[in-house]
Structure 1
């Protein structure tokens, strides 16, 4: 079993998302003794955001790319190789200013590419080209209302999963409300860990 584990929080020691996803990996490892974990730590090694040159290289046919363009998309190609190689994708991320941290958004931008992870049909709709993955996202959210920030983050996750042709049954989103507040953090994290024990 190959797991791609994406970590986002810059709080390396005290992050609720890191604590919870570490426990999740432990649970998976106890059930899958052959588990191989690939860690992508976006806090310690942030990805470059896309620029005009890289985007043009994405849409240039492979046979027409020059050396500079091939170098420009090297990071994207490597990230997609990691995605295609995994059986399970685990993302642990905080929520900042009502949305995804920019380093995680950069990862989605690098791996969401026409012709590689999704394709356009003659009618203009999008069809996913990544299949057979289990997708677990961990959001230690400050607000979990149906129209709140977590809802928008979950919507982003579902949109990308649909583009990759990942079924709804293969997606799991975990959250903890109140990790931003020292008074409720311990209770929220404890509840989240109990959820992991119950579900995995």
Structure 2
């Protein structure tokens, strides 16, 4: 298993998503002895948001791109190549204001590329090109999604699921660390998520 681990939380030591993701990695490593991990830490090395030159390069045929456009595209190409080189993706992230931290959204913007990670059929339908990969998402949120806001207000989970399906990835499994800052749930949030991670790994094919 070649695993790309995308870390998002800026809390480098006490992050619930990082703690549970590290436990999940330990369990995966026990189950798949040949596991190798590549880390992309977006908190320590945040990606730039797309600028006008990069967007223009996205929209220009490869053979027609200027030297400046090719240079602007270099980071995106590197990130796409990195994704394609791995068979498993682990995203460990907090939910902020019901959605994605902007550094994670920037990663999706860089790797969602016509001709690289998706294509158009002759009929104009989009087809994902990134197939045969599995994704684990460890998602931590400070307030439990009960009462208000509810799970229906969660913008993170449907975005991740749809954005991955857009490029061809449909095997996506979530581990929720729910209510990490709420007085009634914070004590149990991480242990319950770790138990869920154990159960998930035990259900995976050997």
Which structure 2 residue ranges, 5 or more long, are not aligned?
202-206
Q: Residues of 2 paired with 1:7 and 1:184: CA distance?
A: 24
What secondary structure is seen at the aligned counterpart in 2 of 1:122? coil
Q: Residues of 2 paired with 1:182 and 1:18: CA distance?
A: 21
The aligned residue for residue 78 of structure 1 is 78
Which structure 1 residue ranges, 5 or more long, are not aligned?
none
- Give the length in aligned residue pairs: 196
Question: For 1:152-163, what aligned pairs fall within 5 Å after superposition?
Answer: 152-163=155-166
The aligned residue for residue 194 of structure 1 is 195
**Greater Cα shift, 139-148 or 22-31:** 139-148
**Greater Cα shift, 27-36 or 14-23:** 27-36
Question: 1:14-36: CA deviations, max 9, x gaps?
Answer: 00000011111111111122111
Q: Does structure 1 retain, via aligned residues, the 8 Å contact 2:139–2:174? A: yes
In the TM superposition, residue 181 of structure 1 has moved relative to its aligned partner by 2.4
Alignment match of 1:147 (pick from 130, 149, 152): 152
Q: Residues of 2 paired with 1:199 and 1:136: CA distance?
A: 10
In the TM superposition, residue 56 of structure 1 has moved relative to its aligned partner by 0.5
In the TM superposition, residue 162 of structure 1 has moved relative to its aligned partner by 1.4
Normalised by the size of structure 1, how large is the TM-score?
0.93
The aligned residue for residue 9 of structure 2 is 9
What secondary structure is seen at the aligned counterpart in 2 of 1:68? helix
In the TM superposition, residue 76 of structure 1 has moved relative to its aligned partner by 0.5
**Greater Cα shift, 56-65 or 3-12:** 56-65
Is 1:51 aligned to 2:58, yes or no? no
Q: Residues of 2 paired with 1:91 and 1:186: CA distance?
A: 23
Normalised by the size of structure 2, how large is the TM-score?
0.90
Structure 1 vs Structure 2 CA RMSD: 1.3
**Greater Cα shift, 116-125 or 29-38:** 116-125
Q: Does structure 1 retain, via aligned residues, the 8 Å contact 2:144–2:182? A: no
Q: Does structure 1 retain, via aligned residues, the 8 Å contact 2:119–2:128? A: yes
Q: Residues of 2 paired with 1:157 and 1:93: CA distance?
A: 11
Q: Residues of 2 paired with 1:194 and 1:147: CA distance?
A: 24
The aligned residue for residue 167 of structure 2 is 164
